[in-house]
Each structure stands twice: as structure tokens, then as C-alpha cells.
Amino acid sequence: MTRKVGFLVFPEFQILDLTGPLAAFEMPGRNRVPKPYRLQVVSESGGLVKSSSGLSVATERICTSRFDTVIAIGGLGAFQASHSPRVKAFIRRAAKNCRRVTSVCSGTFILAAAGLLDGLRATTHWSAASLLQREYPRIRIESDRIFVKQDSIWTAAGVTAGIDLALALIEEDLGPEAAKAAARQLVVYYRRPGGQSQFSTLLDLEATSERVQRALSYARAHLGKVRSVEQLAKAAGLSARQFGRLFLAETGQTPAKAVEKLRAELARTRIEQSDEPIEAIARTIGFSDPERMRRAFVRTYGQPPQALRRIARVGSVKGEK
């Protein structure tokens, strides 16, 4: 069975919003006959459409042909495209005839303008979330999510999150092994869960020196085994005192605090995405006991682990209805 996937672009679209998902959907077809996906890039007028980077892409004019999945790409021109009667009509028609309608980044504005997201949960690039909420107050914006599935509609955060979205769609169609194989071909981590934050602790720490970056990478890879600052200092090639001073100067926090945040971030993903006992998660990630992890969660997220698991489950049930 070959599924037809349509990518909707417009002048000033973000090139990686298109090429990331496009490449992901290409991968399963390299070793399958017939190919599982037929890919088509469409636009309002057809022909060459210039992206915000200046690179143009050949497109076909939007028409009445049916797709299995439609993906509205994001970019600077999404806001103008969302006001086009032809674009909105295309999206509304797709919502009736397609199995799935999705968006990447500010492509969510196109779905919102077509009325597809009223009363639903959705996400977009973090920088556009506030504007989306003001323009469309009936949407429940989850601005800290990689992607959100709501019924047959999926919305994703910006740029590289489009790859995570595509891998999730591939997994839904062809199974986890096909999605993992595509991820390996793309040389990316097997897709981030939709509930994962658009930001990461490693990004927030903003370490500048190679020594501190090396220590952070070591900590992230060995969270369950890091027990002292001396271990991180050794990874950085410094004495514990030198490392502690350098780390604080670069990140604004102590190594112990940073490790706690890294553990909380990893634990949150496992708590929200699995039924694994919270006590087991605390132990394997490196918290000495569940109570220590609970305190870390309250400091970091304002809520204990049990509350975040309940919220994630409620959202998942709503998305499947």
C-alpha cells in the first residue's frame, strides 16, 4: 500500500520544516517494494516557490487530488498564507478527505485559520505560541511540546521537530522498527516523545568551554552513576575546585544543581511516556530515593512526579478520542 503525502508550502517557508520530514518519509521507501509513500510538494499557485533562505522548490498547484496525509509547513510566510481563501479551502477539504492533517512550526496557523483546531490541543514553535493563542483563543496551546496528537490532527514545534513528527507518523503507519530504521538513516536519535520539552537542560546551561561541555555530556550519558563533582571534574580534566569555579562561572549554577535538572528532565520523559514505577525510575536515573526526586520535581516543574503522570495520561486519552 502506497500512501500519498502532501507538503503544503508558500513563499518564505522554512526550508528545514520541509526537507526534514520529506527526508524522513523517503527513508522507508529505500528497501520496500512498492514504496510506502508517494511524496508531493504543493503550493497555492504551483511552480517554483522561494523559501526564506532563498532556495526555491518546485511545487504542483493545490487541487482536488486526495492525500493520505497533508503537512502544512511553517515559516515566515505562514501568517500570510493562513489568510488565503484557497489555502484554507484546501486544508478544510483535506480534513474531510485525508486520514491525517498535520503541521510543522508556524504551519499551525494555517490549520487554525481553517478552523481545524478550535477546542483542541496544539503546539507550534515556542516563539509563535503567544501570538497563536491571542489570534485563536479557542485553541489550547501547549507551547512546551515537541508535537501534539489530537484526534486525526497533529501539530509540531519548529524546524527539527518536524523530523520527530514524521518519525511518529511513520511509526503509526509501518511500526516502530521502520521508524527506527529511518532515524538511523537520518543519523538522529530515535524520535523524541511528543511530550518532551522544546527546550533542554543542556541548552539552557549554555556552557561555552570544551571542558564544561565534555563534563555535561559525560553527566548526561552516566546520570545513574554520577555521584560526585570529582567524577565530572575528571571528565573535564580539572581538579574539583577548578571545575566547580569554571562550571559556576559559565552556567550560573553548581554542578550538583545541573545534574539534578538533567535527572529530572530524563525522569519526566519516562514518567510521562511509560508505566514504569516511579520508584524504579528514581533509582535507575540516580536519585537516591523517590522523595529526593519528588523534591527535585517540585523545584524544577512546580509539581511532583505523580501529578505530571496524571496530566500526561489525561492528555493522551483526550488525544485518542
- The grid coordinates of residue 163 equal 523530523
The DSSP string of 170-216 is: HHHHH-HHHHHHHHHHHTS-S---TTS-SS-HHHHH---SHHHHHHH
Q: Which amino acid is at 201?
A: T
The DSSP string of 72-127 is: E--BTTHHHHTT-HHHHHHHHHHHHHSSEEEEEGGGHHHHHHTTSSTTSEE---GG
Catalytic residues, by residue number, are: 105
Kindly report the number of other CB atoms within 10 A of residue 70's CB atom: 27
Report how far apart the first and last C-alpha atoms of the chain are (Å, whole number): 26
How far is residue 171's CA from residue 3's CA, in Å, rounded to a whole number? 14
Q: How far is CA 248 from CA 206, 216, 242, 243, in A?
A: 11, 13, 10, 8
- The grid coordinates of residue 64 equal 482536488
Kindly report the number of other CB atoms within 10 A of residue 45's CB atom: 12
